[in-house]
Structure 1
Amino acid sequence: MRIVTYNVFSLRARLVPPRTLKSFLDSLESDIICLQETKLTRQELTAEIAVADGYESFFSCTRTVSKGRVRYSGVATFCRTPTAVPVAADEGFTGLLHTNRTGEIEGGKARVGCYEEVLNMENMSRQDLLQLDWEGRCLVTDHGSFVLFNLYGPSVGPDNEERYEFKLRFYRALQNRWEGLLKNGRRVIAVGDFNISPFPIDSCHSDSNPDFDKSSIRQWFRSQLRANGGPFVDVFREIHPIREGAYTFWNQMSGSEEFNYGTRLDLIIAAGGCFHQVRSEESNSLLKAEESHHFGTCEVEDCDILLEFKRFKADSVPRRGGEKTQKLDGSDHVPVYVQLRPQPPLEQHDVPPLAARFMPEIRGRQQSIASFLQKRSCSLIMDIEAQKETKPRLSLPTATCVRKNPPKVTKFLKSQNSKQKSLHSFFMLPTTKGKENTEAANAFKLAFQDSDSETLLKPSLEQSQTFVINSPHDGGLALPEFDEGSIDASSSHMSRISRNDALPSSDSQETNAEPTDSSNTSSLKQDCTCESQNHVPEAVETVETAETNEKLSAKIEWQRIQKTMMNRVPMCSGHNEPCATYVMKKPGPNHGRKFHCCARAQGPSSNPEAKCKYFKWQNKYK
C-alpha cells in the first residue's frame, strides 16, 4: 500500500483544464492520497473537484469566520476503491464535530473511537477543543491495520503569541488522541504538513537562527520520537538519516527553489507494533513483536520526496536584472510518499457516511438561504450576459442629409473630452488655438478607434455616408443625423471604424495634412449626396501618418520615463544589478515603508549566484 501527502496550496488551482481531478490523482500513483490546504469551503464543493471515479473522498473544511481563516486551510483524503476504502472516518480529531444535541458522538461503527483521552484533558473545555477542529485541519480514517491522520498544522507568523499558543494546544490535544488509540492496541500513521522542521538538517535557516533548538513546538515534536522515549518514528529520517537538502517547501516570494534553499515541513510518522512474529533461536518458540520491532520500521519498504512535482525546473527563467521569476505552475510544496508492505485484507464493509459523495452539496440539494441566493445571482448574471450576446449589432445609418452639430452627438463628444488620449498627450502642455475643434475631432476619432473588437463597421457602396469637415471658422465637425437608438448603440456596440472611413486629424495634431479650403467645403455642403470615396485614400494616408507619429512620440516618451525610473532604483553591491522594491508588512514603526534589496533568488550565502545581503530603505522616513 502506498500513501502520499501533498500540500496542494489550493486544490482548485491544481485542476486547471484540461487537467481533471482523476488525472491529478492518478499522477500521484498512490492508494491513499492526503491533501492539505485545499482552500475550499463546504459550499464550494462540487462533483468536479470532490468526486473522482475509482476513489472515495473525505473533506474537512474550515468552519470559523475569524480574520484570515476563511478559504485558508482544509484537508482532503482520497482512497482508491476497493482496496483502500476505510471502515470508519472522523472529521477533526476530537470527535466533537459529530455530536448530537445531547452531546453524544453519533455514528456508531462509522466513527474511529477512542476519544476519552482528548475529551478529558485538563484546562481544556469542550468549547476550546471544538475550536481546534473548526479550521478544518484534520481527517481521521480507519483502514483496519492502522489509523491514518491527515494533518495540516497551524502556521505562526512572527511575534504572534496568540497564534503560537493555539498551535501548542492543537498538538497537545492531538497527542492525547494518539495516546488513546495506542493504549487500545491500534497502530497510528500521521502524515501532512506539520509546519514543523524537526532538526537543523531539515531547515536551511537553522544556521542563522540561534534559538532553533529552543522552539517549544520543535521540542514537543522531538519528544514524540522513539529516540526521546516517544512512540513515533520519523519514517523519512529512519530511511535517510543523513541526507542533506531534503526539503519539501520553498518560499515562493524569494524564489528559493532555484538554489534548493528550503525546509522539510511535510512529514510522515508512525507508531505501534509490527505484524510479523519472531522465532527465538534459543527456545524455538514463537514470540510476539518486542520493542525492537516497530510498525514504522518493519512495515515500511520505502519513503522519499517526489521532486518531479517541484515547480522550478532547469529551463525556468531565473531572477536577473531586477526581474522576477516567471510564474511557476504547481504548489510551493512537493509530495512525500511512504510504501508499506502488504497489509491484512479487510472484510467487505460499507463506505463511511462522511464520504463526499453523500454530501447534500454534491448531490445537488440546497443547504442554506445563502447558497440559494448565491446560485441565483450567478444565474441572473449568466442570463444578462446571454442577452448581451444575442442582442443584434446596429450598423451606421445611411447619410441622406447632413446636419451640423446634432445635439445628441455633441453631448456624446463632450463626454469623451475628459478621457486621456495617449501617453504623449498626457505630458504635453495644453494649447488654446483651435481647442474646441480639435477636442471634438479627437473625441469622435477616439470613440471609434479605442474599441478592442475585431469587427469593423464599414459602410458599403449602397449604404455610404458623407462626412464633412468644416474650416476652423465654422462650427466644428459636421456629422450625419442619428436617431436616439443609434446614439445609444454608438456608445456601447460600435467598434472602431475601418481605416477607409477614418477622419483626417485636426490642425492641433502632428500630421502632414493641409488645411481644407473653405470654398470646397461650402460646395460639399450644397451637394449632400456626393460620394466620399474619391477622398478616402488621402484621408487614410493622413490618419496613418498621424498615428505613426503619435506612436513614435509615445514610445520615446515612455523610454525616457523608464530610464528615469531605473535611475532611481539602486544597484545591489553583490552583483551590480537593479534591486527589487518591496513594502514592509510586518507590524511596527517601519510598517508601510519601501525598501530595496537584491532581486536574485534566495540561496546559501556561500553561493555567489544567490541573493546578496544588500539592503536600503527607499526614504529616510516612512
Structure 2
Amino acid sequence: MQLTGLPRKFIAGPICQLDLDCKVELKQLFNSLDADIICLQETKVTRDMLDEPTAIVEGYNSYFSFSRKKSGYSGVATFCKDACTPEKAAEGLTGGGGDIGCPGDQSSFTTEELESLDAEGRALITQHRIRLSDGVVKEMAVINVYCPRADPDREDRLAYKLHFFALLQTRAEALIKQGRYVVLLGDVNVSHRKIDKSEPDDEDFYSRPGRVWLNQMLWEGGRDRDIDSVEDREMFPATTPYVEGGMFVDAFRHRNPETRGAFTCWCTMTSARQTNYGNRIDYILMNKSFVEVSLVDSVVMQEIEGSDHCPVKVEINANNINPAKPPPLCTQFMPEFSGKQQKLSNFFIKMKRDESVQDEPPPLKSSKSDSSQNHPVIQRRETLQVVSTSKLKRTSSELNESVNAKRAKVTPQNSGGGKQSSLANFFCKRNQKKNTETNNTIEEAKSESKSENIILNNVMSSGDMDTNVTPASETSSIPSQPRSSGTNSTSSQPKSSVNAWKNLLGGLPPPPLCKGHKEPCVLRTVKKDGPNRGKQFYTCARAEGHSSNPEARCDFFKWIEKKKNS
C-alpha cells in the first residue's frame, strides 16, 4: 500500500557534541539531516550548562537526560520536529520518570542498582502515536540510549555495563509485550559481527559478554551463528531471568546483510577515518513485527563529519499523529526557558499601577475569599509586600529614597559626574579629609538594615561612589619606577644569556623517519594511566589503518630518552 504523506525518518548517533563550543547552528544542522526525530548521544551537557540556543531550536521540541554524577559526562538528547511531537516522554529506564510505564520485572535489581543505572543520563524514551500505511494506529516508543563503555582496567564498569544491558532489554521487551512498537537506537558500544570491526580479535571475539548479549537480543534470522553456538551463551541471560531475547532486528543488517566497511566510529587521535579503520557500534534496532510492516531503508551516513561517530538512519512508512501539546519533559516547559521565572531585581522596582484599574486595590493582607485577589496587578503587589515584610522591612519607595540620600551624601562634588575612576587613581594619595568622610559614610551604611547594605554595596561597586581610596601602607610599598634614559632595560638583556638558557634546556632533535614510508614521524604523549603516563614517543604520522593497507600507518615506534643532567 502507498503512504499518503511524507515517510518518517529516524537518526541515531552523536552527530555533534552539544557543548558551548559547537560552531554549527543546530537548526541548520538538523534541517540538513532531513529527519523527523534526531537522537544524540554523549551530549556532555548538565542542567546548569543547558542554554536557550541549545534547548530551544525553532521548528523542533527537545528532551534531555543529564548525568547526575558529574559534569561534562554522558547525557542524551532527542529532538523532534513539531510535526512529529511525542505524546509522552520519560527519562531513564527504571520507569520512575514520565508516564510511559511498562518498566518490566525489575525484581532482580536492587534499589541502589536501579538508581545508579539511571544516574548517568544514558536513556530517554519518547512515545509517539503513529498511523501506518494501512491506516492502523499504533503507539511507538523510541528509546535513545548511550550504553556504557567497559573499561578493561575496571571490573566494576564491566559489571555496570552488563547490568545496564539487562535493564535496557527488560524495559524494551516490556513495552513490546504491552503492544507498542519499539525503536531502540544509539551508541551501543558493541560490534556485533566480525564484519562490523576492522580487525576482529579471533581469539576471544565470540565470547565477549557484550557481544553475546547483543546477539541474543536479535531475532534468530539476524543472529551471528558463530556467537550463537558458543557454549557459554547462557552467561549473560543468567543476570536477566525475565527476558526472552530474539525480539529485535538490526535494521541496517536487515537491508544490507553482507555490506563491509559500514563503520560508524573511528579513532580521531590516529586519523583512522581517513582509511575507514573503525567499528560499527551505533545501531537502530526495531522489533520484528514493526520491521515487517514499515521498514523502507536503513543507511550509514559516513559522509556526515564533525564527530568521531557518524549517523545511522532508517526510513519507515508511518505518519505521526500530533498531540495537543508536548509532554511535560519537553525543555520548553523548563522554568528557565518558559519565561515564568522572575529576576531578583524585579522585587526592588517600584510597581506601576495599571491605568485600567479604576478602584484602589484592597489591603495587601486581604482574605482568600476576596474576589479581587485574582487580579494580576494585585497579586504582584501582594507578592512584593510579602517579600518586603519578611526580608526588607521597608517598602521599595523608602529603600530608593534612602539609597538616593546615601548616594548624594557619599559622592564627592568633584567625582566627574559619577564616572568610573581609572586604575591609576587607586595608587594616588588622597587628603585625609576625604578619607575621613568616606569612612564615616561607610560606618553609617553598616548601621542600616541588611537589605540597604546589599543595595549600597552594589552602588559602591558599580562606580557611582569615589573609590580612589588606598591606605598609606599600600601606596608606600609601591616602588617608584625610574625614568628610562632612552633604552629599554628588558630588550637590553644580553643575547648570551638567552643562548645560555637554550643550551641548558636543550630541545627536541628533528623527528626520525619511519621505517615503512621514510617520512618524518609525529610526536605523541602517553595519556593512559600507568607507569608510562606522560612519556613521549615517535610514531608514523600516517592515519591508522588495516595491517594489509600499505598506505596506512606503519608499526614504527620509538621512545624519547630524556637527557641526564651531568
Show CA shifts across 1:45-65 (max 9, x none): 122111112111111111113
Distance between the aligned counterparts of 2:28 and 2:160, measured in 1? Answer: 37
Distance 1:245 1:116, change over 3 A: closer
1:342 is aligned to 2:318? yes
1:143 match: secondary structure: strand
Contact 1:46 1:361 in 2 (8 A): no
Q: Percent sequence identity over matched residues?
A: 39
1:409 match: secondary structure: coil
Other-structure match for 2:191? 197
Contact 1:249 1:332 in 2 (8 A): yes
1:223 match: secondary structure: helix
1:159 match: secondary structure: coil
**1:358 counterpart letter in structure 2:** F
Distance 1:158 1:572, change over 3 A: farther
Other-structure match for 1:127? 112
TM-score scaled by structure 2?
Answer: 0.64
Q: What's the CA shift for 1:261?
A: 0.8
1:565 match: secondary structure: coil
Show CA shifts across 1:446-482 (max 9, x none): xxxxxxxxxxxxxxxxxxxxxxxxxxxxxxxxxxxxx
Show CA shifts across 1:384-440 (max 9, x none): xxxxx998899xxxxxxxxxxxx8332899xx96x687895543469xxxxxxxxxx
Residue 8 of structure 1 is aligned with which of 15, 26, 39? 15
Distance between the aligned counterparts of 1:393 and 1:179, measured in 2? Answer: 68
Residue 172 of structure 1 is aligned with which of 147, 163, 166? 166
Distance between the aligned counterparts of 2:193 and 2:44, measured in 1? Answer: 29
**1:32 counterpart letter in structure 2:** I
Distance between the aligned counterparts of 1:62 and 1:250, measured in 2? Answer: 25
Distance 1:410 1:224, change over 3 A: same
Q: What's the CA shift for 1:13?
A: 6.0
Distance 1:411 1:3, change over 3 A: same
Other-structure match for 1:565? 508
Other-structure match for 1:308? 303
Residue 123 of structure 2 is aligned with which of 138, 142, 145? 138
Root mean square deviation, CA, Å: 3.3
Residue 222 of structure 1 is aligned with which of 215, 218, 223? 215
1:77 is aligned to 2:53? no
**2:95 counterpart letter in structure 1:** G
**2:316 counterpart letter in structure 1:** L
1:353 is aligned to 2:358? no
Distance 1:22 1:428, change over 3 A: closer
How many pairs are equivalent? 395
Distance between the aligned counterparts of 2:249 and 2:484, measured in 1? Answer: 75
Distance between the aligned counterparts of 2:31 and 2:46, measured in 1? Answer: 24
Alignment of 1:17-36 (within 5 A): 19-36=24-41
Contact 2:186 2:283 in 1 (8 A): yes
Contact 1:31 1:80 in 2 (8 A): yes
Alignment of 1:290-309 (within 5 A): 295-309=290-304
Other-structure match for 1:537? none
**2:509 counterpart letter in structure 1:** M
Contact 1:43 1:361 in 2 (8 A): no
Other-structure match for 1:326? none
Contact 2:86 2:323 in 1 (8 A): no
Distance 1:174 1:591, change over 3 A: same
Residue 579 of structure 1 is aligned with which of 514, 521, 525? 521
**1:410 counterpart letter in structure 2:** P
Distance 1:585 1:20, change over 3 A: closer
Q: What's the CA shift for 1:336?
A: 1.0
Distance between the aligned counterparts of 2:18 and 2:62, measured in 1? Answer: 13
1:410 match: secondary structure: coil
Distance 1:297 1:367, change over 3 A: farther
Show CA shifts across 1:327-358 (max 9, x none): xxx11111111000124x53643310000000
Structure 1: where are the runs of 5+ without partners?
A: 99-106, 274-294, 311-329, 370-388, 395-406, 431-556
Show CA shifts across 1:556-583 (max 9, x none): x99xx99x7334x332111122222223
Distance between the aligned counterparts of 1:420 and 1:199, measured in 2? Answer: 66
Q: What's the CA shift for 1:14?
A: 7.3
**2:315 counterpart letter in structure 1:** Q
1:258 is aligned to 2:259? no
Distance between the aligned counterparts of 1:112 and 1:91, measured in 2? Answer: 10
Other-structure match for 2:247? 231
Distance between the aligned counterparts of 1:423 and 1:367, measured in 2? Answer: 62
**2:546 counterpart letter in structure 1:** P
Q: What's the CA shift for 1:367?
A: 11
Other-structure match for 1:283? none
2:172 match: secondary structure: helix
Alignment of 1:510-525 (within 5 A): none
Distance between the aligned counterparts of 1:178 and 1:621, measured in 2? Answer: 59
Distance 1:611 1:366, change over 3 A: farther
Residue 188 of structure 1 is aligned with which of 177, 182, 187? 182
Q: What's the CA shift for 1:90?
A: 0.3
Distance 1:14 1:297, change over 3 A: farther
Report the structure number with the largest CA radius of gyration: 1
Other-structure match for 1:508? none
Distance between the aligned counterparts of 1:90 and 1:583, measured in 2? Answer: 42
Alignment of 1:94-493 (within 5 A): 94-96=94-96, 98=97, 111-117=99-105, 120-122=106-108, 124-144=109-129, 145=138, 146-206=140-200, 208=201, 210-227=203-220, 228=223, 230-273=246-289, 295-310=290-305, 330-343=306-319, 346=321, 348-363=323-338, 408-410=480-482, 426-428=497-499
TM-score scaled by structure 1?
Answer: 0.58
2:143 match: secondary structure: strand
1:41 is aligned to 2:36? no
Structure 2: where are the runs of 5+ without partners?
A: 1-7, 130-137, 224-244, 345-418, 425-478
